[in-house]
Every structure is written in C-alpha cells, then in structure tokens.
Structure 1
Amino acid sequence: MLNGWVEPRLNRRESFIYAIAELASKSLVIAELEVRKLRHDPYDLLIRGVQPALWLLIFGQVFTRTRAIPTGNLSYLDFMTPGILAQSVLFVAILTGGMTLIWERDLGIVHKLLASPIPRAAMVLGKALACGIRSLSQIVIIYGLALLLGVNLNLHPLALLQVVVIVLLGAGCFCVFSLIIGCLVKNRERFTGIGQLLTMPLFFASNAIYPISLMPKWLQIISHINPLTYQVDALRGTMLVNGSSLYGFGLDCTILLLTLISLTIICGRLYPRVAM
C-alpha cells in the first residue's frame, strides 16, 4: 500500500486524546466566529455595564448606609460587589446565548453548521467560550466602578486570574443553559419572556446580595443547587482583600465545571432540534 492510504489505528488512549484535541480546536473556531461579531457592535459591551453600575451606585450605596444586612467584617458595598459581577455575567449569558442561536436559525446559519462535520458539543462549547470572552468586559467595568467607590479589591495577579477563570466558567454554564432554552422554544418573543423570567429568580435565589443564612429553609435548598451561588462564593473569596469563601475556590470551580459539562451534553443532543 502507498504511504498515507491507510492510517494507523490509534489505541484507546491516543483516540481519546485526539478526540479531545479535535473538540478543543473546533470549539475555538466557533468561538472565534462569535467573537468577531463584536467588531460590528462593540458598544453593546458598554451598554451591558449600565445595569450593574446602577446596582452599585444606588442599591449598594443605600444599603451600606442602612446596615440592615449583616455581612461580617465586610461593608455591604464590598459584600455585594462580587454578586453584582456575577449578576452581570448571568444577564449577558442568558440574554445573548439562546437569542443568538434563534437569530442564526432564522438566517440559515445553523443549518449550514449542522451539515458540517463539526461535533455538536464543539458548537455549544464554542458559543459558551465566546460568551465568557464577552463577559470579561464586565470585569473591567465592575472593577473600575468598585475602585471609584472605595471597595477593597484584591489586585494580586493570581486573584485576577482566578476571577477570570470563574467568570469564564459561570458565563459558560449560563450560556449553555440559555442555548438549551433556545433549542426548546425556537421563538424570539417566547425566549425573551422566558429569559427575563429566569434571570431574576436565579439572582435572588443566590448569595449575591444577602447571605444564605438570612433565607428561609426552602430558599436555602434552592440556593445550594443554584450555580450562581458558587460563582458568587468564589468571586467573593478572590475579589476582596478580606473576602472569604464558604465552600472553597476548588469546590466552587469543580461544581461549575461539572455543571458546564452536564449542560453541554444535554445541549449537544438538543442542538439539531433548532433546525426542525
């Protein structure tokens, strides 16, 4: 046989490594396509920063003065700043992931991608990574406002790197969750209503603006299965000088990563439904 006509068989370990490498490379290609869209509407990133700015400037300033919520050795403004960053990432992920998918279906882009040899999981992970990159702008906005308001931020390079990792994981989780909704509803108006319906319960059923200990028992149970709780907990332990994490940075990252993997598997199976 001529050289190159018959490829050597790979063992199981080599096949697994090859599959992971292919998944990663094709996910990066999809992410690059998504990130390129920012060139056509870069001001969207600034507009997304208006809502968290209002939370910090109005809600945070008022409740810092009232001292109605016990936050330990942290001022209330310090306590809520990581929660507002997580909220901002949540809103960006929920309201852009599924909506983008529905727009692409209407334009016929999804049909072309589904006809390509790209794995469905790579399509999902690529969009999740692009959403995480889009959410990095919220770090800059929140950090800038927090410094102006006197929040005691931890500016150590390792802490900043940990914040970036948590934002990418959190954005990925909620983007894939949004994609699942987009796969099921397949309608822009219906998706907008469902997206707005989900964001606020996810936000208030977490430890973003008050400790879990203040919640009633039934809400505490919900908060412990809410991925946003672990994103906020990790951010609170890394962003602040005197911040602390209830569960630990490693456990928070593990829960977010497992959530992302589980949602990606579900979304990968549902993805072809978009074209139906």
Structure 2
Amino acid sequence: MSARSVASPVGSVEPVRRSPVGLVVSRIATMCLVELQKLRHDRTELITRGIQPALWLLVFGETFTRLRAIPTGGVPYLDYLAPGILAQSALFIAIFYGIQIIWERDAGVLAKLLVTPTPRVAMVTGKAFAAGVRALVQALVVLVLAALLGVALTANPLRLLGMAVTVVLGSAFFCCLSITIAGLVLSRDRLMGIGQAITMPLFFASNALYPVELMPGWLQWINRFNPLGYEVDALRGLLLGTPADLALDLGVLVVAAATMIGVSSALLGRLAR
C-alpha cells in the first residue's frame, strides 16, 4: 500500500504554515487590534493626551498668530503650527514605546515570544505599526481641535489618507528608535530619561514651530537629518496645501522606518538575556 492511500486519522489537523510575509501581516494586525482594545478600555487617555496639543494650539498658536512675529508665507501661524503639533503628539506617544518592551521582558512575555516561530522583525514591525495606530487616534483629536479653532484643513480624502500614512511612518521610526534605546540601556528609568532628553531637541530642531529659513545654519544642518522635519513638511503640504516635496519626505520616512526596524530587531534578543 502506497503512502498516499493511507488516510489521515479522523480529526487530525494539518498545521498551517505561514510565509514570513504572512507572519508579519498577522503580527501587525494583532498588535494594532491590541492597541485599539487598550484605547477602548481606557478612553480617559485620549482626554489626558489631548491636553498638551490643546495648550500648544490655544496658547502658543493663538498668541503668535496675533503677534505675527514668525513669517509663514501668508499662512496664518495657527494653521502653520497645527501640522507641527500633530507630529509632536505622535512623537511623544512613540518615543516611549520601548518602556512596554522592557515591561514585557520583566513579565517574561518577551522571552516566550522570542521562542515562537514568529520572526523578530515581525514582532518589531507589529509594535511599530501599533504605535502608528495609537498616534492616528491622537492625530484625530488634534485635527478636531484645529478645525474647531478655524484652521483651514483639507477635506480631500486622498490627502487625508496621505496624512495617515505619514503619521504611521513617523511613529514607526520613533517607536523603533525607542526599542533600540531600550535594547541598549535595558532599564525603564534610563529609557525614560533618554526619551525626555531627546524629545524636545527633536521637536525644536524641526520646522514644527518655525520655517527652516529662520533657523541658524547649524540648526538647519541638523534639521536635514531629523525625520520629524520631513514628517512635518509632508503633513503641512498634505493638510494645508503648502509647497512640499512629498516624494522626498515620504521616501526619507520609509527608509528611516525600515532601517530602524532592522536595527531594533537585531537588538531585541539582547533585552531577553
């Protein structure tokens, strides 16, 4: 009797083998679903996280709009500021995502995940895009606030979709930067300190608050290597219609996010030792 004629036992289940791409997609979907469930169970987080961008828009934006101290090329300063605050909100969410990785290590969850067949790059990519989902929810809060304040935002669905892609890519980069720092310092306290130390310099070394032309030469040079600057430029072009090199901005964000995903994936095993 040939092997083909032997029937499989009744009730046996053939294990499903997924391709690496399928594992990455599955992990991304799972992480995004977890983040949405977290937000559903803790809706107060949306309110607390909305306080800071509201203060920036209401106090800083309204004040400097009346002062007219920063030339923005005919665009009201509040309109100019809104995309920068949106990018800042996403940055503040993603830059501390490494704390969750350290918590998973301390709870023994990370070690269990690393022995599964799931590639490390799939785990990191899933967490990166989960941070993007959380940032998108925060971005919606900022957009509603900006619209209530009279900011002339676009209603073009394609531009809004581009805005969502930009926010996710920027959040993915900064999330993986946080995971990379976590893999180096191995401590929540150190990660928190470093995160707080680099957040505001990243913000002020971008064009979120003022045009690049107003920066001193050395700060303009730093801005060229700051992914947040490219994110803000893309958001401003998409939401306001101001001149922007979207191909360059999105290209830089894609390369930066992919590079940081690779680096943080390589350091993920160091956390579990």
Q: State if a TM-score over 0.5 links the two structures.
A: yes
**Match of residue 247, structure 2, among 246, 250, 264:** 250
**Alignment partners' CA distance in 2, 1:257 and 1:18:** 23
Matched, 1:195 2:195: yes
Q: Give the match for residue 74 of structure 1.
A: 75
What amino acid is the match of 2:163? V
Match of 2:261 among 260, 264, 269: 264
User: 2:29 maps to which residue?
Assistant: 28
Counterpart-to-counterpart distance in 2, 1:2 and 1:157: 57
Q: Which runs of 5+ in 2 are unaligned?
A: 5-17
The CA distance in 1 between the partners of 2:157 and 2:53, in whole Å, is: 24
Counterpart residue number, 1:127: 127
Cα pair distance change 1:174/1:2, threshold 3 Å? farther
1:7 is aligned to: none
Partner of 2:62: 61
| Aligned equivalents of 1:20, 1:215: Cα separation in 2 | 43
Larger mean Cα displacement after TM superposition, 31-40 or 210-219 = 31-40
Change (3 A) 1:270 1:66: same
Structure 1 unaligned spans of 5+: 4-16
| 1:122-271 matched pairs, under 5 angstroms | 122-240=122-240, 242-245=241-244, 248-271=245-268
2:143 maps to amino acid: Y
Q: Is the 8 A contact 1:30 1:122 kept in 2?
A: no
Q: What's the CA shift for 1:137?
A: 1.4
Q: Is the 8 A contact 1:34 1:127 kept in 2?
A: no
Map Cα deviations across residues 127-170 of structure 1 (whole Å, 9 max, x no partner).
01111111111222111111111111111111111111111111
Scaled by the length of structure 2, what TM-score is found?
0.90
Q: Could you say what secondary structure the match of 1:151 adopts?
A: coil
Alignment TM-score, normalising by the size of structure 1? 0.89
Percent identity of equivalent pairs: 50
Partners in 2 of 1:252 and 1:127 — Cα distance?
23
| 1:73-95 per-position Cα deviation (integer Å, ceiling 9, x unaligned) | 20111111100000000001112
Q: Which residue of 2 aligns with 1:37?
A: 38
Structure-1 residue corresponding to 2:50: 49
* Residue number in structure 1 paired with 2:14: none
Which amino acid in the other structure matches residue 146 of structure 1? A
2: distance between equivalents of 1:43 and 1:2?
61
How far apart are 1:18 and its partner, in Å?
A: 4.2
Q: Which amino acid aligns with 1:62?
A: T
Query: Aligned-pair distance for 1:191?
Result: 1.2
Alpha-carbon distance in structure 1 between the residues aligned to 2:128 and 2:20: 19
The match for 1:104 is 104
The list of structure 1 runs, each at least 4 consecutive aligned residues, that deviate by more than 6 angstroms after superposition, is none
State whether residues 24 and 126 of structure 2, in contact with CA within 8 Å, keep that contact through their aligned partners in structure 1. no
Q: How many residues align?
A: 260
CA–CA distance in 2 between the matches of 1:23 and 1:2? 35
How far apart, in 1, do the equivalents of 2:266 and 2:81 lie? 37
Name the aligned partner's letter for residue 188 of structure 2. Answer: R
What code does the residue aligned with 2:242 have?
A: G
Query: What letter matches 1:24 in structure 2?
Result: V
